Amino acid sequence: MTKTPTRFDMPLTTDVAWCPGCGNYMLQSAVKMALHELAVDRKNLVMVSGIGQAAKAPQYLNAHMFNGLHGRALPAALGIKLSNRNLVVVVESGDGDMYGEGGNHFIHAIRRNMDITVIVHNNMVYGLTKGQASPTSQRGMTTPVQVEGVMLEPFNPLAVALALNAPFIARAYAGDVEETKKLIMQAISFRGFSLVDVFQPCVVFNKVNTYQWFKENTVYLPESHDATDRAAAFGLATATGKLPLGVFFRSEGRELYEDLIGVGKTPLYKQKPPDEKAFQNLIDTYR
């Protein structure tokens, strides 16, 4: 694994809690390199996450950080973005956090369409709690809880995001750091809600979806795929067979939530209470 030094690296002494060989490392490299190459100003970058191993990602990236509660990365990111729209807000969390505990927020964050980027570490298993099924686990995988194999249909984040008309939807494979970096760069540069679902092997608890498995079962979208064609994207997101990687859908110009609800350019921390005249005018309406 190559590791290019970036402005977002933490000190080498940082105690990283990820297992040796974890796909999180590769994804982390891709994120740092993307931010570095985009020349994002560290002072304006807030990394937001929920809970889980993937959610520790902001701990290992040198920027502002909000590591909140399980499933609640998106509401926190919403508040952060609305408090200061000059901030670049990148949410990074796992499949359990984003699609399980935070499923409702995932739906409504897309409906709002804030200018944030959501990167999901999708390893199809709950790692930190020792290997139970996640919403994206494939049917049949046995676990200490799903003893007869996963019975439920896996959550399809791309199809759900497409159904909700998310304006930027991509899928990556962390084993290919260079391509993952490029997709993340596009997502962060995109104006609006951007989702990058990233396949990322859990080397300890997912013995099905391994590095080898992802290599054999993924394929990059053909150059001919028209990313503005939502119906085609939906077809690709729901098709059986090899899982496509790349930008499924990209649609410019959808209105941002920040604009719709009239969030001004001035960060809220700079706002002062209303002056006495404005306040007295308010009071006057109750005479």
Partner 1 sequence: MHHYLHDISMVFAGEAGQGLQTVTETLLRILHKSGYCVFSCTEYMSRIRGGCNTTEIRITDKKRGAYLERIDMLFALSPLAVEHLKSRIRSGTLLFAEKTQFAERWDEHYIDTPFRKFAVETGSPVYSNTVAAGIVSGIIGLPIERFTDYLGEQFAAKGEDTVSKNRIAAKLGYDFGRRTAADKAILLPSPAASGSSGRLLMDGNTALGIGAIASGCNFISSYPMSPGTGLLTFLAAKSKTFGIVVDQAEDEIAAINAGIGASYGGARAVVSTSGGGFDLMQEGVSLAGMLETPIVIHIGQRPGPATGLPTRTEQGDLNLALHAGHGDFARAILAPGTLEELIESMQHAFRLANRFQIPVFVLTDQFLLDAITTIERKYIKRLPFESSIIKTKAGYQRFAFTDDGLSPRGVPGYGDGLVRVDSDEHDESGLITESFEMRQSMVEKRLKRKKALSDAALMPTIIGSLSEASTVVIAWGSNRGVLEEALALIGNKKLAGLHFAQPYPLNPEIKPLLEKRKLVVMENNATGQFADLLSLHTGRTISHRIVKATGQPFSVEEVAEAIKALIE
Encode 2-35: b = buried (16+ Cβ within 10 Å), e = exposed. Answer: eeeebebbeeeeeeeebeeebbbbbbbbbbbbbb
Residue from 52, 68, 131, 192 touching partner 1 (CB under 8 A): that is: 68
With CB under 8 A as the contact rule, which of the stretches 52-60, 132-140, 154-162, 196-204 interacts with partner 1? 52-60
Does 7 help bind partner 1 (rule: CB under 8 A)? no
Does 1 help bind partner 1 (rule: CB under 8 A)? no
Identify any residues that bridge with 218 across adjacent strands, giving them in sequence order: 243
Q: How far is the CB of 177 from partner 1 (least distance, A)?
A: 25
Identify any residues that bridge with 92 across adjacent strands, giving them in sequence order: 119
Q: Using alpha carbons, list the distances in angstroms from residue 149 to 97, 100, 136, 209, 219.
A: 22, 18, 13, 14, 26
Helix, strand, or coil (residue 129): coil
Residue from 9, 19, 84, 142 touching partner 1 (CB under 8 A): that is: 84
Residue written as token pair 């394929």 = 219
Does 32 help bind partner 1 (rule: CB under 8 A)? no
Does 277 help bind partner 1 (rule: CB under 8 A)? no
Q: Using alpha carbons, list the distances in angstroms from residue 187 to 131, 166, 263.
A: 30, 12, 22
Does 273 help bind partner 1 (rule: CB under 8 A)? yes
Residue from 23, 75, 167, 175 touching partner 1 (CB under 8 A): that is: 75
Task: Provide the binding-site residues for partner 1, judged by CB under 8 A.
Answer: 14, 17, 42-44, 46, 48, 51, 56, 58-59, 62-69, 72, 74-80, 82-84, 86-87, 104-105, 107-108, 261-264, 267-274, 276, 278-279, 282-283, 286-287
